[in-house]
Amino acid sequence: MNSLEALAAMSAMTHAKVPLLGFAALSGTGKTTLLKQLIPLLKDQGLRIGLIKHAHHAFEVDTPGKDSFELRQAGASPVMLCSSRRRVIMTDHAVPRDPSLNEELLHLNQGELDVLLVEGFKHEVFPKLELHRPSLGHPLLYPEDAQIIGIASDAELLPAPLIPCLNLNQPQTVADFILQVFLPGARRVLDLR
């Protein structure tokens, strides 16, 4: 599958209103580190960026003892916290289940975004960049995952994959790939829907 076909697969995400780009890798590869470097570079180009992160375990964003935590523990769901600077909505699932990216997109206001970066959800069908560090000894996710449109690695990959290879240690080259290759193609796909 070529990168245009991978971008076309984004149409499976029927609730996507903006281009989605995933960052797929095993834990410890540096997804969050790269994203923390990429986001300011993309914002400097005028992009409005959203992010969805898949957490693989139970997590709390609230603190025991706070009113909002206590009210949620008492059974309120959803609970919205609002201030002059931010809004947080916490919703407990009645039955624990693995989240679906397409379903989660329904709960995100995409109207003020240009691109949505996704950390995790690596088994879902949408375009992804794979992050790879050969020194960790893990096999590539590509070519088994046909949705991978590029690989960012900290070492040369041999044999060279048939998709773009980027230097993981040079975030600007990854940002350039997103701006010059990914976004134009992804926008065309969204316009065709």
CATH of domain 3-54+99-192: 3.40.50.300
Q: What is the pLDDT of residues 50-63, one digit of tens each?
A: 999 987 666 667 77
- Give the angle 92-94-100 at the CA atoms, nearest 5°: 75
| Domain range annotation of the chain | 3-54+99-192, 58-95
User: Which residues partner with 53 through β-bridges?
Assistant: 119
Query: pLDDT tens-digit profile of 76-123?
Result: 888 888 889 988 888 888 888 888 999 999 999 999 999 999 998 988
Mean pLDDT of 154-171: 96
Rounded to 5°, the CA angle 133-136-142 comes to 50
